[in-house]
Every structure is written in C-alpha cells, then in structure tokens.
C-alpha cells in the first residue's frame, strides 16, 4: 500500500492517466443520479499527463472488487462530477453498503 491507498487503486489511476501518479487527498462522496445513490471515498491523484485522476473501489454482486479511475475533464469540477460521469455510463450501480474504501 501507498500509505492508506491500495496498490490496485494506484494502478487503476496510473492506467487511466497513462503515467505515474501521486496521491493528493481523499474525498467522501455521496452522489445521487437517476440510477440511485453512490456513497464512498474517492481518492484524488495528480500526474504530469493528467491534471487530476479520481479513483475509488466498488464491490460487485460476487463480492469482487472493481477499481474505478476517471481522468478529470473540463466538465468536471470535483470528485462528485467524476462519480456522476461513471454512474451515467453503463456501469452497474452498487447499492449503499456494498462499497469499499
């Protein structure tokens, strides 16, 4: 682990950024969309190729972990916007309580 951040989360952020990343901070996020509510901790990373990368962990129906990473784009002002963008894609929504931090 890099401090309190899982290696897999770093790997997902680096893959999304296309470069090495450095951990910046963590944000508690509760995001509501038409598909439901997502609650969890979003880690924020910085890299020289991507201004910011937001990453978090969810559990699927089989209790396996999925590491999500989203590169900040101009439409995103904060980690909640990254979660909302993920929710609006085809990813299944995890019910509250099924999230890992």
Q: Is 17 helix (H, G, I), strand (E, B) or coil?
A: helix
Q: What is the pLDDT of residue 97?
A: 43
Q: What is the pLDDT of residue 92?
A: 54
Output the CA torsion 68→66→38→81 (10° steps).
Answer: 10
Residues 5-53 pLDDT 10s: 689 999 999 999 999 999 999 999 998 776 667 789 999 999 988 789 9
* Residue spans per domain, the chain: 7-100
47 near 20, Cβ under 8 Å?
A: yes
The upper half-sphere exposure of residue 89, i.e. CA atoms within 13 Å in the direction of its Cβ, equals 8
Query: pTM for the complete prediction?
Result: 0.80
3-state secondary structure 68-87: EEEECCCCCCCHHHHHHHHH
Q: What is the pLDDT of residue 48?
A: 84
């Amino acid at each position: 682990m890099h401090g309190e951040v899982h290696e897999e989360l770093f790997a997902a952020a680096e893959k999304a950024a296309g470069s090495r990343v450095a951990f910046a901070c963590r944000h508690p996020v509760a995001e509501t969309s038409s598909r439901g509510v997502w609650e969890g901790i979003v880690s924020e990373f910085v890299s020289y190729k991507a201004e910011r990368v937001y990453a978090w962990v969810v559990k699927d129906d089989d209790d396996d972990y999925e590491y999500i990473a989203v590169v900040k784009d101009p439409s995103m002002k904060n980690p909640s916007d990254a979660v909302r963008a993920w929710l609006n894609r085809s990813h299944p929504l995890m019910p509250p309580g099924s999230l890992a931090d």
